[in-house]
């Protein structure tokens, strides 16, 4: 089952690349920005509770889809880009086993313990 979920997330990651191809940005922009959502890990420097909250904000697919949808709805290219990058990043993380975090420990995720 784990491998099936990882394949599903890989498909979503590849879909984010496909969606990015419709934007008027150079390909290096995707490569430059794909890891920026991990800035949410900085909250762990304060404490695990804040770290999990901020990390999950940048990796929650519902929030990510809302950002992207609003970008397309309002025609704001920067929001479209943000939504696609956040979606691709969250999917990529889940391929590697990083899920949404519980507030007790960075390694305790909704996909299990790392």
pTM: 0.90
| Contact call for residues 40 and 53 (beta carbons, < 8 A) | no
Q: Which two tokens stand for residue 4?
A: 């099936």
Do the Cβ atoms of 110 and 97 come closer than 8 Å? no
CA distances from 51 to 5, 32, 60, 93 (A): 25, 23, 14, 16
The domain ranges of the chain are 2-113
pLDDT (0 to 100) of residue 110 = 73
Residues 67/80, Cβ–Cβ less than 8 Å = no
Looking at residue 101, what is its pLDDT? 86
The 10s digit of each residue's pLDDT in 4-33 is 999 999 999 999 999 999 999 999 999 999
Q: What is the pLDDT of residue 60?
A: 93
Q: Which residues of the chain have pLDDT under 70?
A: 1, 108, 112
């Amino acid at each position: 089952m784990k491998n099936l979920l990882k394949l599903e997330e890989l498909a979503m990651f590849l879909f984010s690349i496909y969606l990015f191809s419709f934007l008027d940005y150079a390909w290096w922009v995707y490569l430059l920005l794909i890891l920026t959502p991990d800035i949410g890990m900085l909250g762990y420097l304060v404490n695990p509770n804040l770290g999990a909250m901020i990390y999950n904000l940048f990796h929650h697919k519902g929030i990510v889809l809302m950002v992207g949808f609003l970008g397309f709805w309002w025609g704001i290219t920067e929001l479209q880009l943000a939504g696609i990058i956040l979606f691709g990043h969250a999917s990529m993380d889940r391929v590697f086993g990083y899920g949404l975090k519980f507030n007790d420990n960075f390694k305790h995720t909704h996909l299990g313990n790392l």
